[in-house]
Amino acid sequence: MLQKKIIFTTLVSLALTLSVSVSASADLDNSLPFLWPLPAQFTSGNDTLSVDPALSLSVSGNGGHSTIVREAFDRYRKIIFKHSFNGFSVFRGIRSGFDIGKLNVVVHSESEELQLGVDESYSLLVAKNDGRSIIGEATIEANTVYGALRGLETFSQLCSFDYGTKSVQIYKAPWYIQDKPRFAFRGLLLDTSRHYFPVNTIKQIIESMSYAKLNVFHWHIIDEESFPLEVPTYPNLWKGAYTKWERYTVEDAYEIVNFAKMRGINVMAEVDVPGHAESWGAGYPDLWPSATCREPLDVAKNFTFDVISGILSDMRKIFPFELFHLGGDEVHTDCWDSTPRVKQWLRNHNMTAKEAYQYFVLRAQEIAISKNWTPVNWEETFNAFAENLNPKTVVHNWLGSGVCPKAVAKGFKCIYSNQGFWYLDHLDVPWDRLYTAEPLEGINDSTKQELVLGGEVCMWGETADTSNVQQTIWPRAAAAADAYCIRRGIQAAPVTNFYARRPPVGPGSCYEQ
């Protein structure tokens, strides 16, 4: 894994060009800090401040005892001073006086509850302490610990290692930043069914998400190819895993959720029903309509819904996030019509196969809601029977443009993932197209705009495994998130690659190829 820190200048140049917050006369140079995503409001100056490698932390306010903030500071301190160690100034004879020796963090709320819409706003002041300032050298103020995390990320981006002086500098000080996210939901999907990803790889991806200030990890755990998750109530389900080594225990899932929370990231799990579920029958063949009809799941058996309820009950103990994804996409119902027993059930209930699809989705939604979850469904459910969807449904767009405007017009909330822009496995989509995609396109009413929770880039796993998943995600995911992308031990494709993951054609700078 590459350890050098590389700033993707092309992305930052675009951000500076498009942002109205930056002067048109700003020139990119070595002393210009690259903030990505660009804060909502900021001012800067012309001073250069040095940062003490022994930088200390002071946390105050009602959230002053938060381990989330303290552990985050330790992580960022290692990032900021990756080229330094406490004794290097003595060893090299460099001056020991530093402008910034302490980072003050003020957190007003003691709550560490992480849910959709948690306050992630913060303010950041970085100024030289001339003995007259009552504010201090560097101060982050936030209402919640999660706002403090975003402020720590921004502070780390202001810090640059000067290879001439062998010290960490903050250029263009003093800085005053006020920031808050545009959308409450800023997600990345990872598909662990088409290819299994070890827990450590998932953690690396979640860690990299925090650098881009993404805040929802959509875990597409299960699909037709494999069922890698342990479900204690139905222990044979993970017989659908590829091998006994390619599985996630309950403890693994807990670990991933807790790891994400420490970085201000929710985990939204997905159990896609009734389609994309062939792997379920490896452990419970009765879930298949027949030996030759293995999906959609058997709509005619109560056992099918008992299993769904058992899965969701077990998963509710692991995943505290209020949103739960129930899939509902690409359901081909011909199989039900061609299975005599299911066909008879349809006749008995005076249903067509298409109506049975609606029945299945709505019943699954009822199960999720009964467990205090808000259901999320792929857009096919909205396209097929919007008038009967539970009003709590969050519609997840993926097929193309125009769905979110229709969904919010009917009062539904929506998540934008237009596959023409934000499907990362579409390797021929360059980063600038991801950058310019707009979740609010076609929605002019401000009250309707509020129903768009945000957006999500999707890393489907058919063509990605541990050897290339990070290079496929980054840097294009950062463009979609309007986020800052740097290599902090995170493998990423060169930014100007038209086709993601294409290797360099020869020697050269990572800024240029």
Q: Tell me: cis bond preceding 475? Omega within 30 of 0 counts.
A: yes
pLDDT of res. 500 = 65
Give pLDDT, residue 450.
97
pLDDT tens figures, 331-341: 999 999 999 99
pLDDT digits (tens, 9 = 90+) for 90-108: 444 455 688 999 999 999 9
Largest Cα separation within the chain, whole Å, is 88
Predicted local confidence at residue 4, as pLDDT: 32
Report, as an integer, the average pLDDT of 14-37.
52
Strand partners, 396: 378, 415
224: closest CA among 300, 141, 280?
280
- In this prediction, residue 13 carries a pLDDT of 36
Task: Answer whether 302's CB lies under 8 Å from 250's CB.
Answer: no
Return the CA Rg of the chain: 25
Q: Does pLDDT of 89 surpass 80?
A: no
For 48-78, how does the pLDDT look when each residue is reduced to its tens digit (9 = 90+)? 999 999 999 999 999 999 999 999 999 999 9
Q: Which pLDDT belongs to residue 497?
A: 64
DSSP state of 301: -
Mean pLDDT of 367-372: 98
φ and ψ of 476, to 5 deg:
-65, -30
Buried residues in 226-259 as b, exposed as e (16+ CB within 10 A): bbbbbbeebeebbebbeeeeebbeeebbeebbeb
| Max mean pLDDT range (85-89, 264-268, 464-468) | 264-268
The tokens of 418 are what? 């237009």
In the predicted model, what is the mean pLDDT of residues 171-196? 96
* pLDDT reported for residue 103: 96
C-alpha 178/C-alpha 180 separation (Å) is 7
- pLDDT tier at 187, thresholds 50, 70, 90: very high
Burial class for 317, CB neighbours closer than 10 Å (0-12, 13-18, 19+):
exposed
Neighbours of 54 (CB within 10 A): 16
Distances (CA, A) of 6 to 2, 486, 509: 10, 5, 10
pLDDT for residue 402 is more than 60? yes
pLDDT category of residue 185 using cuts at 50, 70 and 90 = very high
What percentage of the chain carries pLDDT values higher than 70?
Answer: 83
Give the list of residues 6+ apart from residue 350 with CB closer than 8 angstroms, or none: none
Beta strands 175-179 and 41-43 are antiparallel
- Residue 435 has a pLDDT of 85
Write out pLDDT tens, residues 281-312. 999 999 999 999 999 999 999 999 999 999 99
The predicted pLDDT at position 35 comes to 86
Phi and psi torsions of 395, nearest 5°: -85, 125
Interval 183-202 mean pLDDT = 97
Cβ density class 452-467: b for 16+ within 10 Å, e for less: bbbbbbbbbbeebeee
113, 251, 322, 330: the catalytic one is: 330
Q: Is pLDDT above 50 for 422?
A: yes
Identify the band that residue 473 occupies on the pLDDT scale cut at 50, 70 and 90: very high
Q: What is the pTM of this model?
A: 0.91
278 is catalytic: no
CA nearest neighbour of 392 among 311, 307, 453: 453
pLDDT at residue number 18 = 38
Q: Give me the amino acid identity at 463.
A: T
Amino acid identity of residue 270, one-letter, is E
